[in-house]
Amino acid sequence: MKKILVLFAHPAFHKSKTNKQLISEIEGIEHVTIKYLYEEYPNFHIDVQLEQQLLLEHDIIIWHHPFYWYSAPSILKEWIDLVLQHNFAYGKEGNALKGKAVMSVITTGGRIEAYMEQGYNCYSISQFLRPFEQTARLCKMNYLPPFVVHGTHLLKETELNEIKADYKKLIVALRNELYTVDDFQQSNYANDLVRK
């Protein structure tokens, strides 16, 4: 089984409906570690050595966060800036993460139609996530398509229940190696792969 590290970043977790339910759905799954970055590092004093050790111990890294201003909340950027050090994650001797998989799990208030060339935001989610993809590439990691929850403010309970089930199914499938990197490349969103 693969070991999965979920780096969860939500600066207003107490107000969250969707993320709270998503993260609770995967709590307690064997071989899945969840790090609550804002709760663990309220002053942003990230323990770089501890975080690097966790990366070494896990096979799949998930950046789980709401989509803030077309990116991630600030603590995740701080984590990336500090933890993915030269000659650890990248550079001539930086091979610690080589071959590991990484993916984004994001929630956004905008509907899927808003994230396309003709839509309100003019670009797709994949285009907005290019910096994360390139970060993974620089670290010699396999960047998988994101799991995206659109229109969070409009979700009915039945829809949210389906999404939670899909997320859990994805995590378990990743852990159990039910999908290959090639499987993921056939989909824009990991959600599509889970629902096949």
Q: Where exactly are the structural domains of the chain?
A: 4-194
Q: What is the pTM of this model?
A: 0.95
Assigned fold of 4-194: Rossmann fold (3.40.50)
**pLDDT attached to residue 185:** 82
Per-residue pLDDT in tens (0 to 9) along the chain, 196 residues = 999 999 999 998 888 889 999 999 999 999 999 999 999 999 999 999 999 999 999 999 999 999 999 999 999 999 999 999 999 999 999 999 999 999 999 999 989 899 988 889 898 999 999 999 999 999 999 999 999 999 998 899 999 999 999 999 999 999 999 998 888 888 889 999 998 7
Q: Please tell me the distance from the alpha carbon of residue 38 to that of residue 187, in angstroms, as a whole number.
A: 31
CA angle, residues 49, 51, 56, in degrees to nearest 5: 95
